[in-house]
Amino acid sequence: MKREDRGRKYLVWKTLARFGGFAMAAWLAFGILFPEMFWNADVCKSCEQECLSGEELLDAVLSAKPGEIKGHSRLMELWQAFWKKDRKVSDKGMEQKLTADAPIGVFDSGVGGLTVAREIMRQIPNEKIIYFGDTARVPYGSKSKETVTRFSRQIVRFLQTHEVKTIVVACNTASAYALEDLEKETDVPIIGVVKPGAKAAAEATRNGKIGVIATEATIGSHIYSQYIKKIHPEVTIYGKACPLFVPLVEEGLWEDPVTDEIAKRYLNELIDIDIDTLILGCTHYPLIRSTVARIMGDKVTLVNPAYETARELKEMLERKGLLKENPVALGENKYQFYVSDGAEKFKTFANSIIKYGILSAKTINIEEF
C-alpha cells in the first residue's frame, strides 16, 4: 500500500475516532443534564434505597440505556449532590427562592398530622398549607427505617412541586427515621415534631421521670431519649409503645370503651413508675388526649408535640423573614389536602378535627415522585 493511501486512511480513522469520542461525551453529558429523557426508572428505584458513591453513580449512568423508560430525576439529584457537596439541591436541580407568601408543606403517614396542621392554623393563621397524608401506606410505626425514609423522600419531592417555603414532618416515626437525611438533601427548611416535644418535656419535669408513648418504631429509635438527655442529662426516660392507638384513632374511636380499656393496659406501668411528665409521641395521640389525661391523673403533665412544633415553626419563620404577615386573598385556596388513598374518608375525618371546612381532598399516586 502506498504511503499516501496509508496516510489518508490514518487521517480518516483518527477523525472518526475523535467524532465518536465527542458523540459519546455529548450523549453522556446530555443524559446527565436531561435524565428524564434517557435513564431507566429501575436505576432510580435502586439508587433511592441508598445514595450511590461517585464511582457507583458513574457506573449507573454508563450502564443505563437511552430510550427505555422516562422519569429518572433522582439520578440527576444524586449526581449534582455528589459534584456540589456543599450545596443542598432540590428535585428540580436548582436552589429554590423562598418567599413569605409561599405555602407550608406538612406531611404524615395518615390523619395524625392534622393535629399539627390544626395547631399551625391556630397559631399562625395567615399561612397557607399543603398537607399530604400517606393513607395508602399507613402506619409507618411498624415499617423499617429504609422504607420510611424512602416514603418521606417521595413526599418531600411532591411537596416541592408546590414550591413550599418549609416542610413540617408531622409524623414522629418519620422525624425519628428520616429527618436527618431530608435536612441534608432538601433546600428548604425542614422541622420535625420530636425536638420541640423533647424540649418541652425536659423543661416541664419536676421529679426527673419522663414517659414517652409512641409507635414501636419511635420508641425503638430512642430519639426522644437522645434529645432530652442533651437538655437534661439527669432525667430518666421511660418509653412505652402503644401500637393500637393509631388504628383506634384512624377509626374515630376517640371516646370509646375499647380505647379506654386498651389505654389502661398501656399506661398502668407508667403510673406505677410515678412519672410526672408524659409525651404524646405520635401525632395521632392528641386526639385521645382526654382519655390519656383521665387515666394518668392531674399530677402528670401531658406534652403535645403538635402544639410545640407549631410554636417552633412560627419562631423559625420569623427568624428567616418568611412569616406571612397578611391574610390570604379572598377566593385564594388557603388549605390544600392530598392523600395517597381514600380521599372521601379522609375529608370526613379531617372535617371532624379541623373546623375550617375542608372542601376537598385529592388522591395522588405518590409512587410517581
Q: Would you please indicate which residues are annotated as catalytic (active-site) residues?
A: 171, 282
**Dihedral of the CA atoms 38, 41, 44, 49 (nearest 10)?**
-170
- What does the DSSP 8-state code read for residue 210? E
Neighbouring C-alpha atoms within 13 Å toward the C-beta of 355? 1
Interatomic CA distance for residues 310 and 315, integer angstroms: 9
Q: Take residue 218 and report the three cell numbers written for it.
A: 419511635
Helix 54-63 vs helix 41-49: crossing angle, to nearest 10: 160
Interatomic CA distance for residues 292 and 262, integer angstroms: 11
Concatenated DSSP letters of 299-349: TSEEE-HHHHHHHHHHHHHHHTT----SPPPTTS--EEEEESS-HHHHHHH
Interatomic CA distance for residues 113 and 108, integer angstroms: 5
For the chain, give the longest Cα–Cα distance: 105
Q: Is 191 helix (H, G, I), strand (E, B) or coil?
A: strand
- Do the Cβ atoms of 217 and 147 come closer than 8 Å? no
Q: If we measure between CA atoms, which residue out of 103, 86, 104 comes closest to residue 95?
A: 86
Length of the chain equals 369
Interatomic CA distance for residues 172 and 246, integer angstroms: 12
Residue 160, φ and ψ in degrees, nearest 5: -70, -20
- Do the Cβ atoms of 67 and 36 come closer than 8 Å? no
